[in-house]
Amino acid sequence: MQTHQELVKGVTTGSFPSPISYNLIFLTATLISAISITLVMILRRRIKQSLSTLKLEMDASNMKQDPRRNEVGKND
């Protein structure tokens, strides 16, 4: 970051970050935000697909495991 510092006219001591430094900071923040939002959207879509597949598999396995399920209450 030493390369992206400038002296300011009228200030005798110290150096300050250059405008390029601020642009790089905001560019990096924007890229990280955009990538994060994209990943969240992809993960939500995959989670929804996984949950629907899991629900279908559970329903199918419940039908196979308990064949007497329809007979409950017939002996009364």
Q: What is the pLDDT along the chain (76 residues), one digit of tens a residue?
A: 567 777 777 777 777 888 888 999 999 999 999 999 999 999 999 999 998 888 888 887 777 765 555 565 555 5
Whether this prediction's pTM lies above 0.85 is answered by: no
Task: Please give the structure tokens belonging to residue 65.
Answer: 């495991």
Question: What is the Cα–Cα distance from 27 to 71, expressed in whole angstroms?
Answer: 66
In a domain, residue 69? The reply is: no
DSSP 69: G
Q: Domain of residue 31: give its range.
A: 2-60
In Å, how far are 9, 21, 24 from 15, measured between CA atoms?
A: 10, 13, 18
Q: Kindly state whether residue 11 falls inside one of the protein's structural domains.
A: yes
Question: Hey, what are 3's tokens?
Answer: 């390369």
Domain count, the chain: 1
Beta bridge partners of 5: 17
In a domain, 70, yes or no: no
